[in-house]
Amino acid sequence: MTTPSSKIGINTGILLEAGTNEAEILVFEVGGQTFGVNVAKVKEVLGITKVTALPEGHPSIEGVVRIRQDVVSLIHLGRFLYGDAPEAESKESDCLLLLEFNQRPLAFRVNRVHRIYRVSWQATRPLPMTMGMNAPITSVVLIDGKLVQILDFESIGADVAGISDDRSDSQEVSRIEAPQIPIVFAEDSRMISEMIHDHLIGAGFSNIHGFVDGQAAWEYMESVAEDNTVDDILQTVGLLITDIEMPRMDGFSLAKNVRMHPVLAQIPVLIFSSLVSKDNQKKGDQVGVDSQVSKPRYGELVEKARQLVGLSELVEA
């Protein structure tokens, strides 16, 4: 028996205005600890019925479950977080979160789902890693008197189920040396931040400044604007690449701030996020985003970056 999504109020289209720096967080429990995930990543919350075990695979993959026409890998989140500790034990009341990354569904076993809360990203604080646990944590926020840890599900999915292996993005990207083009990027996931940096370096960009959230990137850009004019700002920040979901300041708010700034307004802005959708395309248009690329399409990211800085017509010497 399943638990319909409507019973916990899942509606990924509630926040219609871009640049409000707000998100809706689904709060849940695993092993007695409280975690959260952006509602925009959650397709459904379902009961767990039949799980078909797999003979091989990551120890945190419990097996596969059938969800209508799809066969989906089920990741035992307690086992991933706590290993063989008592906190990892399954319970009859467990349910699953069905998430989607780049059109690939993944299911995660959790112990209990609480409810959805609207929060300001400004109230969240970056936290690269929780001590004593395997799970990457992007940020923490106090909700209803509880410290909620926002899990980096992209990193978990990449580690356990290989979601970063995007075969649809298999095009070879030639190297074009472009040390004169400065790129700023904001990304709160350590793994994805490293991948962005490595792909840009491999493509020939070398003047790269990475930041752990939108607020840090914004403070840097504000500071360089003080020493530049409209005529020369692109020599200091030639392109901004930003995630959407980040602590302190989200990507849409960052883009909105850039477009409203008298010196920074002309800088091209490229969204790189697992939350790319029709709704978020509209939000990006609202705040003046130039292009959006879905994670983990790193080859497409490089090509879009080249187009926005005027390198798309060049070939490797």
Q: 235 lies in a domain? A: yes
- What is the pLDDT averaged over residues 100-116? 90
Predicted TM-score (pTM) of this structure: 0.83
pLDDT tens for each residue of 140-175: 999 988 899 999 898 888 888 776 545 445 456 789
| Mean pLDDT, range 195-214, rounded to an integer | 95
Query: pLDDT confidence of 9, banded at 50, 70, 90?
Result: very low
Q: For the chain, what is the domain count? A: 2
274-289 pLDDT tens trace? 877 788 889 999 999 9
Q: Mind listing the pLDDT tens digit for each residue in 29-84?
A: 999 999 999 998 899 999 998 999 988 888 899 999 999 888 999 999 999 999 88
Local confidence band at 292 (pLDDT 50, 70, 90 cut-offs): very high
Structure tokens at 206: 């070398």
User: Domain containing 270 — which CATH number?
Assistant: 3.40.50.2300
Q: Are residues 9 and 99 in the same domain?
A: yes
Q: What is the pLDDT of residue 10?
A: 52
pLDDT of 2 above 70: no
Domain end call among 126, 161, 196: 161
Pairing outcome for strands 146-151 and 33-38: parallel
- 9 and 153 together in one domain: yes
Co-location of 297 and 218 in the same domain: yes
Q: What is the pLDDT of residue 314?
A: 54
Last-in-domain residue among 119, 139, 161: 161
Quote the tokens at residue 267.
């800088």
The pLDDT of 213-223, averaged and rounded, is 96
Q: 78 and 190 share a domain?
A: no
151 and 180 co-located in one domain: no
Mark whether 211 and 116 lie in a shared domain. no
For residue 103, the enclosing domain spans 5-161
Same domain, 88 and 236: no
